[in-house]
């Protein structure tokens, strides 16, 4: 009878080990926070940093921007990084609030490697199952770099299974924008 209890006690001790362990140290601070992305600074307006693209520009050999659509600028002619990509910037206040880089989801691993080489390892990583309407299942990975001034999020499947996206945000500008939206929403709600 005593021998039957030993395996149960061993399992209980092993399972409670993490509960009795010393608390884990704080997550390591991100020490490679950027103040720019793809050669464009957060604190400089896109139209001050780049020329406007000529009309009907499909491909540009130099960086330029297309006229914005509600503060969203499409940037063409960005630096060669080894994968095809699209780059947009959302203007906010005195500069850029957020940069959006999109690429084919087949480039996810290469994009993660580029970001890890430039900015260090992500501060957090998650994975969650995603199902398509046809019933196929995928694992959607999301990587986070969280700093005091900037956050980066790379999502393997951003909106659809063919698109990977990286979002590089100026936290102060994003916070200000969020507060402005909340205030506007409250004002509009008061009109109901």
Q: Indicate the pTM of the whole model.
A: 0.77
Tens of pLDDT, residue by residue over 97-108, are 999 999 999 999
DSSP single-letter state for residue 55: T
**Overall average pLDDT of the 130-144 stretch:** 89
The larger pLDDT score, comparing residue 27 to residue 24, is at 27
Pairwise CA distance, residues 5 & 146, whole Å:
47
Q: Average of pLDDT values for 11-18?
A: 35
pLDDT score of 20 more than 80: no
Report whether 60 contacts 116 (CB < 8 A). no
What's the confidence (pLDDT) of residue 180?
Answer: 66
Between 92 and 164, whose confidence is greater? Answer: 164
What is the pLDDT, as a whole number, of residue 93? 74
Domain residue spans of the chain: 31-190
Cα–Cα distance, 140 to 142 (Å, whole number):
7
Q: How many CB atoms lie within 10 A of CB 191?
A: 5
């Amino acid at each position: 009878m005593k021998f039957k209890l030993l395996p149960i006690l061993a399992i209980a001790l092993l399972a409670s080990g993490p509960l009795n362990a010393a608390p884990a140290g704080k997550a390591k601070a991100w020490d490679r926070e950027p103040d720019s992305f793809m050669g464009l600074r957060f604190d400089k307006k896109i139209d001050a940093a780049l020329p406007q693209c000529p009309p009907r520009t499909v491909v540009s050999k130099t960086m330029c921007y297309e006229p914005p659509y509600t503060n969203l600028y499409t940037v063409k002619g960005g630096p060669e990084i080894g994968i095809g990509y699209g780059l947009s910037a959302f203007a906010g206040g005195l500069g850029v609030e957020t940069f959006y880089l999109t690429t084919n989801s087949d480039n996810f691993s290469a994009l993660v490697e580029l970001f890890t080489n430039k900015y260090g390892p992500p501060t957090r990583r998650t994975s969650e199952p995603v199902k398509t309407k046809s019933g196929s299942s995928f694992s959607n990975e999301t990587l986070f770099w969280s700093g005091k001034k900037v956050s980066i999020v790379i999502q393997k499947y951003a909106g659809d299974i063919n698109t990977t996206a990286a979002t590089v945000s100026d936290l102060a500008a994003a916070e200000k924008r969020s507060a402005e939206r909340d205030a506007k929403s409250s004002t509009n709600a008061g009109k109901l």
